[in-house]
């Protein structure tokens, strides 16, 4: 066998194998194309329905597995991506870690701080990674925003305002089912809350929060949360499932304002515009096109290969889970009985 014959084998050994637990729309539409371009080697896709798994696997060129447990038994899978309903995240993340697999959990990872601590403790005990998928953070427009802020383009940051709303969809969908972890806070509210933490300092407090419930569906369909960090920087986060589409945040400083118009869900070919407002002028800065899902799978693969990168992901997951839980606690007295 010559060197050319060995090359595919060596590349296969160097690339971590990944499997997908569940055939959710986000997995088929965004994750599969990104994995194909990422350092990962897609090994298998699992569904409770063999027919569904085979349909997705045929498109992806990988194995089809009927049943999540069977996928976790495959020895050539190093990591799994879990885009199941929110209510299933903690259960299957734990099973995957116990099976020796690194885990990428679709957002929101888990609804409670104790669940996050438990998963992280298990991952660290086993020398594994558990990471939450906020793919939007991997888009270069956010690095541009952080750089502009660090360079003093808007002076000292005073407040953040984030909004994510989407129009109503199928009322039978998972996002409207309380027992599956649906609702506006978990579905869309987590985005502006997570983005806020890129700019807020430590000791973030929840000053107030409120949710509006649909009495027939029994889930929250809109809400708002007001946060403040230890330095007095505030964050207003608004979200909803019964709105026209809006996906934006802005940073208001002592000398200007920076607006990201398409902050959370730009398509891979889109070039979002950042608007920098300083006194009597506005500068429009165009971000490069980028597949943010490719960015997150690349970052996940890097942390699978490099144990030194895992602590930061664990810290981010825990911080987000704790803050989201505190926001939820502020609304408990206003939930329907």
Reported as a single tens digit per residue, the pLDDT across 58-73 is 999 999 999 999 999 9
- pLDDT, tens digit, 9 for 90 and up, residues 132-176: 999 999 999 999 999 999 999 999 999 999 999 999 998 889 999
The DSSP symbol for 165 reads E
- pLDDT, tens digit, 9 for 90 and up, residues 194-242: 999 999 998 999 999 999 999 888 899 999 999 999 999 999 999 999 9
Calculate mean pLDDT across residues 37-63.
96
Calculate mean pLDDT across residues 66-83.
98
Supply the pLDDT for residue 7. Answer: 38
Token pair 């409207």 in the structure block, residue: 176
Token pair 């438990």 in the structure block, residue: 118
| 71/253 Cα distance (integer angstroms) | 49
Q: According to CATH, where is 3.40.50.720 located in the chain?
A: 3-135
Q: How deeply is 281 buried, as exposed, middle or buried, from its count of CB atoms within 10 A (0-12, 13-18, 19+)?
A: exposed
Residue 63 known to be catalytic: no
Supply the pLDDT for residue 162. Answer: 98
Of 243, 278, 265, the residue nearest 136 (C-alpha):
265
Query: Does domain 3-135 correspond to CATH entry 3.40.50.720?
Result: yes
Q: According to CATH, where is 3.30.360.10 located in the chain?
A: 140-289
DSSP-assigned beta bridge partners for residue 187 = none
pTM for the model stands at 0.93
Supply the pLDDT for residue 69. Answer: 97
| 156/149 Cα distance (integer angstroms) | 8
- Predicted confidence (pLDDT) at residue 328 exceeds the cutoff of 80: yes
Number of helices (H) and strands (E) in the chain: give both, helices first. Answer: 12, 14
Kind and range of the H or E element at 277?
strand 273-278
Kind and range of the H or E element at 250?
strand 246-253
Provide the pLDDT confidence category of residue 13 given band limits of 50, 70 and 90: low
Mean of per-residue pLDDT scores for the chain: 94
Supply the pLDDT for residue 331. Answer: 86
Q: Which two tokens stand for residue 102?
A: 């690194």
CATH top-level class for 140-289? alpha beta
Is 125:102 a contact under the CB 8 Å cutoff? no
Q: Which of 52, 63, 101, 107 is catalytic?
A: 107
Q: Which two tokens stand for residue 48?
A: 């409770």
Percent of the chain at pLDDT > 90 equals: 90
């Amino acid at each position: 066998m010559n060197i050319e014959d060995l090359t595919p084998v060596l590349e296969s050994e160097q690339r971590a194998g990944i499997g997908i637990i569940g055939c959710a729309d986000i997995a088929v539409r965004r994750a599969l194309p990104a994995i194909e371009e990422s350092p990962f080697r897609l090994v298998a896709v699992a569904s409770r329905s063999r027919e569904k798994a085979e349909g997705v696997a045929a498109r992806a060129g990988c194995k089809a597995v009927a049943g999540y447990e069977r996928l976790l038994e495959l020895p050539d899978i190093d990591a799994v991506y879990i885009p199941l309903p929110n209510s299933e995240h903690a259960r299957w993340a734990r099973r995957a870690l116990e099976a020796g697999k690194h885990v990428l959990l679709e957002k929101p990872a888990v609804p409670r701080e104790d669940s996050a601590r438990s998963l992280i403790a298990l991952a660290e005990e086993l020398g594994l990674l558990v990471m939450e998928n906020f793919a939007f953070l991997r888009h270069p427009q956010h690095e541009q925003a952080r750089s502009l802020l660090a360079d003093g383009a808007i002076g000292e940051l005073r407040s953040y305002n984030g909004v994510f709303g989407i129009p109503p969809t199928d009322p039978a969908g998972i996002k409207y089912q309380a027992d599956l972890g649906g609702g506006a806070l978990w579905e869309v509210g987590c985005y502006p809350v997570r983005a806020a933490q890129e700019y807020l300092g430590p000791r973030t407090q929840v000053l107030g929060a409120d949710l509006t419930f649909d009495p027939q569906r029994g889930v929250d369909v809109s809400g708002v949360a007001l946060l403040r960090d230890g330095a007095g920087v505030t964050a207003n986060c608004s979200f909803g499932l019964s709105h026209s589409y809006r996906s934006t945040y802005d940073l208001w400083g002592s000398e200007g304002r920076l607006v990201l118009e398409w902050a959370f869900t730009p398509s891979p070919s889109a070039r979002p515009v950042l608007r920098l407002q300083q006194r009597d002028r506005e500068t429009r800065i165009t971000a490069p096109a980028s597949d943010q899902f490719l960015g997150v799978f690349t970052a996940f693969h890097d942390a699978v290969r490099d144990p030194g990168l895992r602590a930061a992901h664990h810290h981010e997951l825990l911080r987000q889970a704790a803050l989201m839980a505190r926001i939820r606690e502020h609304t408990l007295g206003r939930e329907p009985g």
